[in-house]
Chains A and B, each alone.
Chain A
Amino acid sequence: MPVEILMPALSPTMEEGTLSKWLKNEGDAVKSGDVIAEIETDKATMEVEAVDEGVIGKILIPAGSEAVKVNTPIAVLLQDGESADAMAAPKAAEKQPEAATPKVEEAEKPTQQGSASAPVPAAPKGEVAADPDIPAGTEMVATTVREALRDAMAEEMRRDGDVFVMGEEVAEYQGAYKITQGLLQEFGARRVIDTPITEHGFAGVGVGAAMTGLKPIVEFMTFNFAMQAVDQIVNSAAKTLYMSGGQMGAPIVFRGPSGAAARVAAQHSQCYAAWYSHIPGLKVVMPYTAADAKGLLKAAIRDPNPVIFLENEILYGQSFDVPKLDDFVLPIGKARIHREGSDATLVSFGIGMTYAVKAAAELEKEGIDVEVIDLRTIRPMDLPTVIESVKRTGRLVTVEEGFPQSSVGDFIANSVQREAFDYLDAPVITVAGKDVPMPYAANLEKLALPNVGEVVQAVKAVCYK
């Protein structure tokens, strides 16, 4: 049967083009790969190659024709032994160009570039279990965040031989911030691996290992340096499960300090909560207390998804009560009501909680009863807990150290106005770091960060007091 040669689409956006020149004439023999014509697309002049062998029986679209729609038959190719007479009945070919033959009912035939505008399905709502009950009488042990993180890693490494930790100075040096202290001694150099200073590379190595089912904990000395590795975190770790249709993902934890420390200035003082919370396929955890740090890091290591675990240098040395339990694991995606209250809701996470907690204590003295919610997980975010609280208090303030534009607070404010607009008695106020690179001078640095006074003022403002 004669084969119709169709006007090809030669760029992702081409819908029509100019058939500028024929390089073969009727009667010419062509074989696969021969250039038969030139067409001008929206991008360039392109050569059209023959795919099949045969003889050009008829040229249907003459050279110089403009605005030839993609998929218009432009010539007829006669195959072995066919004569031009075969074209007398081009009807058959018309309906069935050799390669086109879409064997689907016309009605359900997908358009070639993106089909019907089906309504967008609703995003699924994941249910997250509540925190486990801590049995009465459980001993509480004062533990620093630093020790809690170390204990979490050590416990998980004892439990699962596929868990290992890699990063700069994690082994011999015992961790730049001593978070991996003692791990090398207990687990050996096979599982506690010092890397060269090569964030992009070792992030990729970690993701590659995770794709085979290992469970790496990749420590960034600080998340500022992970900027070099963002491509591997976002494009490789976060997207592989989706891009592979669920076949393989990356069970990996990227952890390290994020946010301002003290006097380390612009390049070392940046909170990454909002950055990573933008990415589908990642979980983002940012604990405040030692108990949460321990329970959530253990959960992160067990989680089959890539988890960004944001710590804070200033919190490392702070002590909190941690329950003495054999296996204390907390749910990722669940906020914790740190302090119950009825006048206003204060939402924060990580080091932002230090401002929130102090502000709530000051406000109590002034007779304002604030509910403080520690998000703990930024993504997936426990919005129901926030919204339920706002429905009770009618007022909301968020607190974070990160930059103000497109902040975590912005997302919360937007979600709350959408889901609980009628319950709000005042506009939401988002307290954040100032919109400046972190300055070095002590006085300017202090100004650039949020402070307790600002939080107090914001709560009073939403309470109209």
Chain B
Amino acid sequence: MAPRKSASTSSRKTAKKDFNGDIIADFSKEDDLKAYREMLLIRRFEEKAGQLYGMGFIGGFCHLYIGQEAVVVGMQMALKDGDQVITGYRDHGHMLACGMSARGVMAELTGRRGGLSKGKGGSMHMFSKEKNFYGGHGIVGAQVSLGTGLAFANRYRGNDNVSLAYFGDGAANQGQVYESFNMAALWKLPVVYIIENNRYAMGTAVSRASAQTDFSERGASFGIPGYQVDGMDVRAVKAAGDEAVEHCRSGKGPIILEMLTYRYRGHSMSDPAKYRSKDEVQKMRSEHDPIEQVRARLLDKGWASEDDLKRIDKDVRDIVADSADFAQSDPEPDVSELYTDILL
């Protein structure tokens, strides 16, 4: 199954349809170049993280975002300063898209003092007050209630900020998700629930875990509108993101975007991914790759030459190489950090 193309092509049983139908955002040259660069940065960063994991520099659990880059990059393009982001444990891409430094993220992965959490959080627990990124949460589904709380705070303060709460198709079956949906709809909280449906909750296919596999319908009983979006096409994501964020900002309450996406790698580094066929993975990579789509478009429209793209590739590789060097050479946290940051 290829992801359905856009929000409008799938029939909506839920709620009032207030999307205006402008489904694929009209990307300018700058938009496409930006999207290409940001997605490539995530891809190369994650490949490097996988490599450092293989070398033992990164320990514990490490969940790579490869394949899903268009979701977070497209959504981020729809935000303004002050909007907040929160996600689960597959979070490296979200942090890079929020503008957190590659060095800071990579050094946190290797558990060094220059990491975003001083080496005390690791892959699944990173935050940035400055970039309005509220984690990085290791407990599946917890970020949904927390993200609803971020929206609650915006409403309480009377500002027009919106919070994005990302979670997966697996987390979508947790009870607190629906407790949160209920409160968000009841109180008209400005929160976009972004369900990154990458088809597998660890090793369990959506159809084996979910009675309702159309996750955009999951808010139906609370009157929360939901839309399925081609999460492999950054333009579709951006278009849906624009409308969803506007929906929240204008006081209409929460909204659900189900991003149809795919992760190329296993759930974590130690997952051989035997629950799906190689053909399935290969088909997604060759026909729907989010980065290749933009690359082809850039070349096709004459917006970039092969040389231009090579330059971007090199820039990105340099940033990633620099982050990896830093993450390996930066010292571990001072032992005195053991007892800091427990209480203020």
Contacts and interface: CB of A to CB of B under 8 A. Distances in A.
Contacts of B151: 208
B150 A11 contact: no
Contacts of A207: 145-146, 149
A108 B332 CA distance: 10
Contacts of A114: 59
B325 A205 contact: no
Interface in A276-329: 280-281, 283, 304-305
Interface residues of A, number: 79
Contacts of B55: 6, 8-9, 70-71, 99-100, 112
B117 A204 contact: no
A12 B59 contact: yes
Contacts of A101: 325, 328
Nearest to B59: A113
Given A121-B339, A210-B149, A202 B129 contact: no
Nearest to B138: A235
B11 interface: no
Contact of B153 (A10, A126, A214, A305): A214
A49 B183 CA distance: 45
Contacts of A47: 272
B336 interface: yes
Given A9-B56, A236-B137, A242-B342, A209 B120 contact: no
Contacts of B117: 243-245, 247
Contacts of B57: 112
Given A124-B339, A242-B120, A244-B117, A209 B125 contact: no
A333 to B, nearest CB: 10
A41 interface: yes
Nearest to A104: B329
Interface residues of B, number: 76
B183 A235 contact: no
Q: Which of B117, B128, B146, B186 has the most CB of A within 10 A?
A: B146
A416 B78 CA distance: 59
Given A9-B55, A281-B342, A305-B344, A198 B182 contact: yes
Contact of B50 (A51, A100, A196): A51
Nearest to A11: B270
B56 A202 contact: no
Interface stretch (B26-34, B173-181, B194-202, B206-214): B173-181
B99 interface: no
A160 interface: no
A119 B137 CA distance: 30
Interface string A212-249: 11100000000000000001100110011111111111
Contact of A209 (B115, B153, B270): B153
A245 B112 CA distance: 12
A283 B343 contact: yes
A201 interface: yes
A328 B148 CA distance: 34
B254 interface: no
A99 B329 CA distance: 12
A246 B119 CA distance: 11
Nearest to A43: B270
Interface string B322-344: 00110011011001101111111
A103 B149 contact: no
B237 to A, nearest CB: 23
A61 interface: no
Given A235-B142, A246-B340, A32 B47 contact: yes
B304 interface: no
B116 interface: yes
A203 B180 CA distance: 10
Interface string A239-276: 11111111111000000000000000000000000000
Contact of B343 (A10, A201, A241): A241
A99 B331 contact: no
Interface string A84-107: 000000000000000111111000
A252 to B, nearest CB: 10
Nearest to B60: A12
Interface in B114-156: 115-121, 125-129, 134-139, 142, 144-153, 156
Contacts of B285: 33
B328 A231 contact: no
Nearest to B158: A190
B135 A244 contact: yes
Contact of A201 (B48, B84, B112, B179): B179
Contact of B115 (A113, A212, A214, A245): A245
B338 A120 contact: yes
A236 B156 CA distance: 21
Given A71-B56, A100-B55, A120-B338, A164 B127 contact: no
Contacts of A108: 331
Contact of A70 (B56, B135, B147, B329): B56
A14 B84 CA distance: 37
A51 B146 contact: no
A138 interface: no
A427 interface: no
Contact of B175 (A44, A115, A200, A240): A200
Given A103-B328, A244-B135, A202 B179 contact: yes
A126 B129 CA distance: 27
A118 B335 contact: yes
A124 B335 CA distance: 13
A27 interface: no
A293 to B, nearest CB: 22
Interface in B59-76: 59-61
Contacts of B157: 214
24 contacts: A6-B55, A12-B270, A41-B270, A44-B270, A99-B51, A101-B325, A102-B328, A104-B329, A108-B331, A115-B332, A124-B339, A201-B176, A204-B142, A205-B145, A208-B134, A208-B148, A209-B149, A241-B342, A243-B121, A243-B136, A244-B127, A246-B340, A246-B341, A248-B127
3 closest Cβ contacts across the A-B interface?
Answer: A208-B149, A204-B145, A201-B179
